[in-house]
Amino acid sequence: MILLALTGLGLVAMVSLAALRAWLGWLDIRRLEIAAGSGATPGLDRGDLAALRERVKRLEAIAAGVEA
């Protein structure tokens, strides 16, 4: 019974960490979009922003188990 509880806790922890990483990636994208809109780009152009978006999408797909 304890093994089952620990396994469940481990799965919840793994899913929580994956969701946290996805959330932080999304926040980074939003920060870059806001900075790009205000004219204070931190060294990134639209091409770099698009590449970052694609990278985050690929990472989310891998985390969800639907790697293409």
CA angle 49, 25, 32 (to 5 degrees): 35
Domain boundaries, position 36:
18-64
- Is position 2 within any domain? no
Q: Is the pTM here over 0.85, yes or no?
A: no
- Is position 50 within any domain? yes
- Is position 22 within any domain? yes
Residue-averaged pLDDT of the chain: 83
- Is position 10 within any domain? no
Percentage above 90 pLDDT, the chain: 37
d(CA 63, CA 55): 12
The H or E element containing residue 19 is helix 2-38
In total, how many domains does the chain have?
1
Average pLDDT over residues 30-46: 70
**What pLDDT is attached to residue 42?**
57
Please report how the helices 2-38 and 46-64 are oriented relative to each other, as an axis angle in degrees rounded to 10: 170
d(CA 29, CA 23): 10
Average pLDDT over residues 32-40: 72
**What pLDDT is attached to residue 59?**
83
- Is position 35 within any domain? yes
- 45 or 2, which is more confident: 2
Q: Counting every residue, how long is the chain?
A: 68
- Is position 49 within any domain? yes
